[in-house]
Structure 1
Amino acid sequence: MTAYDFSLLLVRVVLGLTMAAHGYNKFFGKGGIGGTAGWFDSMGMKPGSFHARVAASTEMAAGLGLAVGLLTPIPAAGFVALMLVAAWTVHRHNGFFIVKEGWEYNLILAVAAVALAGTGAGRVSLDWALFRNSAVWDYVQGWGGLAVAVVLGLAGGIGQLAIFYRPPAKT
């Protein structure tokens, strides 16, 4: 294994398991999915129970998919959509820096996932094992992978916000 492939593996696993842990916490953390649903309702993502399940499931699936390097641009698109919605609904009014609960962390997670879609998951991945000698290869890495991650991610995040986000009225 080269240092390059190890580095990709390290970033994929840490990034992916971090996202999967967020999904797990939404399902099983303090308050569980019911508490998460209430929080989603309070921020204007209605119905909260639907969005809580979608967010938690997407975080787990995208995180695990990225960690194992399976169809890497698809989980990367999940990261982009999730982080766009989180940045818009929760963090945008707080500015950039995470120390003030800004959107800095959301940006880092989304860009790191897109970068992995562009570089490819590396030789220690399911993408390499399953697709390196197939027509799918051009879409799981390189410009094709990067385009899939960005286009699907932005479409998913913007679509979700346009259809479902109704910010609570200011009192």
Structure 2
Amino acid sequence: MDATAISSTELDVASLVIRLALGPMLVLHGLNKVQGGLAGTAGWFESLGLRPGWLHARVAAATEIGAGLIVTLGLLNGLGAMAFVGLMTVAALTDHRGKGYFIFKGGAEYVVLVGIVAVALAVLGPGRWSLDHALGWDLAGLGWGVIALVGGLAAAAGLLVTSYRPDATKTDA
């Protein structure tokens, strides 16, 4: 099949499937941080070098729940994708750092894939079955893909520069 022969309905379905895979997954990650106890999440973040842990536990949970919801609903599509990229970049450079690529060894395979798919969603758009479409907002295309990628990387860099203080005694394995 020629790429120009893909119907808008097929693209809308593809976008919806991606949104329904990514969005609820991130909402559940955020809810898990809250339901599992923010104190435990704060301690884990402190052990990763994200300081203060209590603040990052709350910011991460709120960002995951918020970004997951807006991606699921197809609202502010490019901005939701940007939040995904920022979250996944921080995870890759803290929790998965130095563990190789493959997830079964603790590597960044999963978070890299999620971030890349989020950028693709920013380019593709949320489709007809989205709040962006219902509101007449066109927050998709190549430009939004670049915004999601560069904005997410910049947000992650800002967070890491201001808050990432790993223990000097820990080494990357």
Same fold (TM over 0.5): yes
Which protein has the bigger helix share? 1
Q: Does residue 41 of the first structure (1) align with residue 46 of the second (2)?
A: yes
Report what 1:148 is aligned to.
Answer: 147
The unaligned stretches of length 5 or more in structure 1 are none
Tell me by how many angstroms 1:147 deviates.
Answer: 2.0
Aligned AA for 2:59?
Answer: V
Q: Does residue 100 of the first structure (1) align with residue 105 of the second (2)?
A: yes
Name the % identity. Answer: 49
Tell me by how many angstroms 1:151 deviates.
Answer: 2.0
Tell me by how many angstroms 1:5 deviates.
Answer: 1.1
The alignment of Structure 1 onto Structure 2 pairs a total of residues equal to 163
CA distance in 1, matches of 2:149, 2:136: 21
Q: Does residue 3 of the first structure (1) align with residue 2 of the second (2)?
A: no
> Alpha carbon RMSD of aligned pairs, Å?
1.2
Write out per-residue CA displacement over residues 116-151 of structure 1, whole angstroms, 9 at most, x where no aligned residue. Answer: 00011111111111125xxxx2xx100221122112
Aligned AA for 2:141?
Answer: G
Tell me by how many angstroms 1:42 deviates.
Answer: 1.2
CA distance in 1, matches of 2:106, 2:95: 8
TM alignment of 1:19-168, pairs within 5 A = 19-29=26-36, 32-132=37-137, 137=138, 140-168=139-167
Q: Give the alignment's TM-score, normalised by structure 2.
A: 0.90
Tell me by how many angstroms 1:43 deviates.
Answer: 1.1
Q: Give the alignment's TM-score, normalised by structure 1.
A: 0.91
Tell me by how many angstroms 1:153 deviates.
Answer: 0.5
